[in-house]
Amino acid sequence: MTVLLYSRHHKSAKWWWRPALGAGFCGGFTTYSAFALKMDQYFENRSISSAIIYALASLLGTFILVFITHELLEKKLLK
């Protein structure tokens, strides 16, 4: 919230700070909420193996997407 207020009141902030931080901040809450809800459903149904697979797939998928994004942006920015 503080960073969003800073970017609103300081013209020197880059134009992409506000939407990037806003989407990242709000997106983090919705992503975590969906993950927590699904994990809760697995535990309520006593599907421990499904919960473990879902958690590992989520973590592994996130790391893969971060790596791919990093590589693509690094190539694009170094051109």
The 10s digit of each residue's pLDDT in 17-45 is 667 777 777 778 788 899 999 999 999 99
Of the pLDDT bands very low, low, confident and very high (cuts 50, 70, 90), residue 64 is very high
State the burial class of residue 40 (Cβ atoms within 10 Å of its Cβ: 0-12, 13-18, 19+).
exposed
pLDDT at 11: 60
Question: What's the total number of domains in the chain?
Answer: 1
Question: What mean pLDDT is reported for the chain?
Answer: 81
Q: Which domain holds residue 67?
A: 2-77
pLDDT at 21: 72
pLDDT at 79 over 90: no
Q: Residues 58, 42: contact at Cβ < 8 Å?
A: no
